[in-house]
Structure 1
Amino acid sequence: MLTWVIASIGAVAVSHGLERLNYPHSRLGLCNTLTLLRAASIAALAGLLATPEVLDPASGFGWGLVLLALLTLLLDGVDGWAARRSGLRSDFGARFDMETDVAFALVLAALAWQADKVGIWFLALGLIRPAFLLAGLILPALRHPLPDAFWRKTVAAVQMGGQVLILAPIVTPGLSHVLGVILLASVATGFAVDIRWLHRRAAEAS
C-alpha cells in the first residue's frame, strides 16, 4: 500500500516537473512510470531500515526482502525496454533511471550492513556515484558525458544482482563479505577507468 501511495504522489510531482526539465514528450509513458514504481519500491525497502528487527534471520522476513529487491531489480530491465519500444527515450528518462539505480545501490548496501552481512565500508558502493558528481563540481573534466559502454552496463547488472544475493538468508556473513569486496572493487575499478578516460579526453581537447 505504501509503495502505491508513494508512486501516486511521485507521478504527480514528476508529471508537473517535466516541462521544467525540457522533457521532449507530451506524456510520462510506461517507461518512466515503471522507473517511478521502482523508486517507490526502493522507498519501501528503505523504510525497513527503521525496523531492523525484520532483518534478523529469526524474523522469517529474509526471503520476502529478497523477493521485493529482486522485483525492483527486474523492473530496471523492463523500463529501458519500454522506453525503446514506445519511442520515449530522453535525457530525462536516462537520468531518472540512473539516479534511481544509485538510490537502489545505497539502500541495498545499508540493508546488508544493518543485517550484519557486511561492514560499514560497503556503503561506499552506493556513495561512489554521488562522490563522482561532487568531484565534477571541482573538476570540469568529469562533467563530460560518458559514451555508452557494454562493460559498464554489465558491471552495473552484476553489482545489483550481487547486492540482492548478499541479502539472501542462505548467504553467510563470511561469504557476503567476500562478495561485497568483489563488488566494491569492480565498481571502483569501473569508475577509475571512466575518470581516466575523461581526463585523457580533456587533455586532448586542451
Structure 2
Amino acid sequence: MPFVFPVARTRPRLFTLFELALGAGPLIAAGTILSSLLVSTATWAVTAALYGVIALLTLCYWDRGPLGWANRVTLARAILVAIVAGALAERAFIEAIWLWLAVALVSLALDGVDGFVARKTNSHSRFGARFDMELDALMILLLCVALLKLESLGAWVLMIGGMRYAFVLASWRLEWLSAPLFESFRRKTVCVWQVVALLLALTPLTSHTGATLLALSALIASLYSFGVDVGWLYRRRLEP
C-alpha cells in the first residue's frame, strides 16, 4: 500500500507553525525592552527554550489552522511567562523585583482577557481552556521557585506549585484520577488566592515571617482543594 502524506492534517499545522514562529518577534522585542530581566545568555536561553517547548506542545495538540484571537492572547501570556522564567535563571529578578512582579501580574491579568475574547468571538475550545490552565499552573510554580530563592523558605514551598503536576503524574498510573471534574468556584478561588498570596509574599514590603505565613496559607488551601477533588474522584470510582 503506497504511503499517503496526510495533507489535510498537515496544512492546518503549517498555519499554526507560522503563527508560533511569528511569536518569536514579540518575544525578542519584549525581552529587549525588559533588558534588566534578561541580562545574560543564560536568561535568554531559558526564555527561548520555554517558549520553544510551549510552541511545540501547541503544534502537537492544535490542528485547526489559525490559532484564533483567544489563543493568541494566551500565546502572549506564554511569552511573558517565558520571560518570567528566564529572569529566574541567574537571579536577575532580584535586582529588578518590582519589574519582574509587574510582568508576572500582567501575565496573570491576561488570564481574564483570553476568556473574554473567547466568549466575544465564540471561539471556545478544550485546547484553549487547557492551554490557559497549564499557563496558570506554570506561573504558580515559577512564583514558588522565586519565593524559594528570594526568601529561602525551604523546598516545601515548591509543593504549592508542584501539586498540580503531582496530580497529573498520579493520574497516569491511577486512571480514576483522569475522570473529568465538575465545575467548581472553590477551585477557582483557591487558584486566585495562591497567586495573590505568592505575589504578596514576594514583594520587598513583606517580612520573612509574613512571606512564610502567606506561602503556608496558599499550601493549606491547595492541599484542601486537591483533597476535596481526589476524594470526590475516589468515591465516584466506587460507584456502580
* Aligned counterpart, 1:41: 80
> Is residue 87–residue 93 contact of structure 2 (8 Å, CA) maintained in 1?
yes
Correspondence for 2:140 among 100, 105, 124: 105
- 1:95 is displaced (CA, Å) by 1.0
1:30 aligned partner, one-letter code: W
- Map Cα deviations across residues 126-174 of structure 1 (whole Å, 9 max, x no partner): 1111110111112111010101111111111111122112111101111
Distance 2:90 2:213 in 1: 26
The whole-number CA distance in structure 2 between the counterparts of 1:86 and 1:197 is: 34
Q: Distance in 2 between matches of 1:177 and 1:45?
A: 22
Match runs of 1:1-206 below 5 Å: 4-5=27-28, 17=59, 21=61, 26-52=65-91, 54-55=93-94, 59=95, 61-116=96-151, 118-204=153-239, 206=240
Aligned partners of 1:11, 1:123: CA distance in 2, in Å? 21
Tell me the matched-pair count: 197
Deviating more after overlay: 88-97 vs 46-55: 46-55
- Contact (CA 8 Å) 2:70, 2:115: kept in 1 or not? yes
For residues 90-116 of structure 1, the C-alpha deviation after alignment (integer angstroms, 9 at most, x for no partner) is 111111111111111111110111112
Task: Compute the RMSD of aligned alpha carbons.
Answer: 2.4
| Structure 1 residue 4 displacement after superposition | 1.7
TM-score where L is the length of structure 1 = 0.86
Unaligned stretches of 5+ in structure 2?
1-23, 29-47
Determine helix, strand or coil for the equivalent of 1:65.
helix
- Asked whether the 8 Å contact 2:108–2:136 carries over to 1, the reply is no
Larger RCO (CA under 8 A, 6+ residues apart)? 1
Counterpart code for 1:4: L
SS in 1 for 2:61: coil
Displacement, 1:22?
Answer: 6.0
Which amino acid letter does the alignment assign opposite residue 41 of structure 1? L
- In the superposition, the TM-score normalised over structure 2's length comes to 0.74
Give secondary structure in 2 for the equivalent of 1:115: helix
Q: Which runs of 5+ in 1 are unaligned?
A: none
